[in-house]
Amino acid sequence: MDEKRELLRHALAAIAYRAARALGGAPAEFANFTGAGRKPVEILAHMGDLFDWSLTAVRGAMHWHVSAPLEWDAEQERFFTTLAAFDVVLASDEPIHAPIERLLQGPVVDALTHIGQIAMLRRLAGCAARSENMYVAAIAAGQVTAEQPDAIAPF
């Protein structure tokens, strides 16, 4: 497999891992926390839209769609499903019609920013997620679902 594709797949796995940590265990009422701009469920819907768009970009027909947020659990499922669909394309022999570097600098990095926002909002809402050393985390290409390995070095 192309090294750039493999690196992008690892970045998607890192997004899944970090998102699972930021979202996991959040109480249902957190979805609509209004303490600092957009609600967490709105941010998560945007993250799903980023990877919906990424799928259109790699297939050569870029199309942006703004989704109305679903219920919290359904929106989490949509995000991880869309992320996994993008990973499947990257893992395949399907041609990629978008520069890998632009996918990294655009939707991938944007999603990481939004995961940080959700983590920060959890602290503001009084339901902080547990921190961990991400350098030693068990992250691997293709591991893009909400089910992630246990933390190796939580703090």
Q: What is the CATH number of the domain that holds 120?
A: 1.20.120
Residue 60 in any domain: the answer is yes
What is the domain count for the chain? 1
DSSP letters of 91-134? HSS----S-HHHHIIIIIHHHHHHHHHHHHHHHHTT-PPPPB-G
Q: What is the pLDDT along the chain (155 residues), one digit of tens a residue?
A: 699 999 999 999 999 999 999 999 999 999 999 988 899 999 999 999 999 999 999 999 999 999 999 999 999 999 999 999 999 999 999 999 999 999 999 999 999 999 999 999 999 999 999 999 999 999 999 999 999 999 999 99
Quick check: is 149 in a domain?
A: no
The whole domain housing 130 covers: 3-136
Write down the pTM of the prediction.
0.96
Residue 36: per-residue pLDDT: 82
CA distance 117 to 111: 10
Asked if the structure places residue 148 within a domain, the reply is no
| Domain assignment present for 141 | no
Tell me what pLDDT residue 35 has. 80
Predicted pLDDT of residue 1: 67
36 in a domain, yes or no? yes
Contacts (Cβ under 8 Å, ≥6 apart) of 85: 51, 55
Is residue 17, in this structure, part of any structural domain at all? yes
* 69 alpha-carbon distance from chain centroid: 15
Q: Cα 128 from chain centroid? A: 18
Domain annotation covers residue 131: yes
81 found inside a domain: yes
